[in-house]
């Protein structure tokens, strides 16, 4: 009898130890699929705010002055004028979803972005980190981090060359 009780206690202990808690880290989730679709929309210049909550805040390379979903789409439309082509590469993409100790759901992604500048077709490739907080299937916060130096310098060079060419065309007295 004592053996049966010990055996039952042991089985109960093993069964409770095998039960898994909620998933706190994964590389497959509906939220990751939402981000992948959002990235695909960006690549195809489909400026859809449907994945954002109305009150979502987006921060690119800053923790101040957040953009609303419509301001994010306007930002992308405006910067597109600088590029002949632009988008995220299909390879070397990493996605993960984590649930923090506070119960927040975040999707992190590490991507390679590439462009060709419109004025001179110079190709630029930049690693980018994006992170999205989700509540009820919608993005409520987005942060994006990348080093824009090569693009800024490329655009400044184009502008300087244009000014130089313009000044050479002016008649001298």
Model's pTM, two decimal places? 0.81
pLDDT over threshold 90, residue 22: no
In a domain, 80, yes or no: yes
Rounded Cα distance between 59 and 87, Å, is 19
The CATH number of whichever domain residue 45 belongs to comes to 3.10.450.50
**Domain that residue 104 falls in:** 23-166
Mean pLDDT, residues 77-97: 94
- The encoded tokens of residue 133 equal 């907080």
pLDDT at 109: 98
pLDDT at 10: 55
**Short-list 135, 126, 138, 129, CA closest to 69:** 138
**For the chain, what percent of residues have pLDDT higher than 90?**
74
pLDDT over threshold 90, residue 15: no
pLDDT over threshold 70, residue 69: yes
Q: Which residue matches tokens 């632009």?
A: 86
In total, how many domains does the chain have?
A: 1
pLDDT in tens, 128-137: 999 999 999 9
In a domain, 17, yes or no: no
In a domain, 13, yes or no: no
Rounded Cα distance between 157 and 91, Å, is 30
Mean pLDDT, residues 59-76: 96
Rounded Cα distance between 170 and 173, Å, is 10
In a domain, 7, yes or no: no
pLDDT over threshold 70, residue 145: yes
pLDDT over threshold 70, residue 95: yes
pLDDT at 131: 98
Rounded Cα distance between 64 and 66, Å, is 6
pLDDT over threshold 80, residue 112: yes
In a domain, 14, yes or no: no
- Residue 71 vs residue 164, higher pLDDT: 71
In a domain, 5, yes or no: no
> At a CB cut-off of 8 Å and minimum separation 6, what does 172 contact?
none
């Amino acid at each position: 009898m004592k053996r049966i009780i010990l055996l039952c206690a042991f089985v109960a202990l093993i069964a409770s130890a095998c039960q898994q808690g909620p998933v706190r880290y994964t590389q497959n989730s509906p939220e990751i699929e939402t981000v992948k679709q959002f990235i695909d929309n960006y690549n195809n210049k489909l400026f859809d705010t449907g994945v954002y909550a109305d009150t979502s805040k987006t921060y690119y390379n800053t923790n101040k002055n957040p953009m609303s979903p419509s301001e994010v789409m306007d930002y992308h439309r405006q910067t597109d004028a600088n590029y002949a082509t632009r988008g995220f590469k299909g390879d070397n993409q990493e996605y993960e979803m984590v649930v923090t100790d506070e119960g927040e759901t975040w999707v992190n992604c590490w991507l390679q972005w590439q462009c060709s500048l419109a004025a001179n077709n110079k190709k630029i490739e930049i690693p980018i980190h994006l992170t999205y907080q989700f509540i009820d299937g919608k993005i409520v916060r987005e942060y994006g981090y990348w080093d824009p130096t090569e693009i800024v310098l490329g655009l400044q060079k184009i502008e300087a060359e244009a000014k130089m060419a313009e000044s050479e065309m002016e008649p001298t007295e």
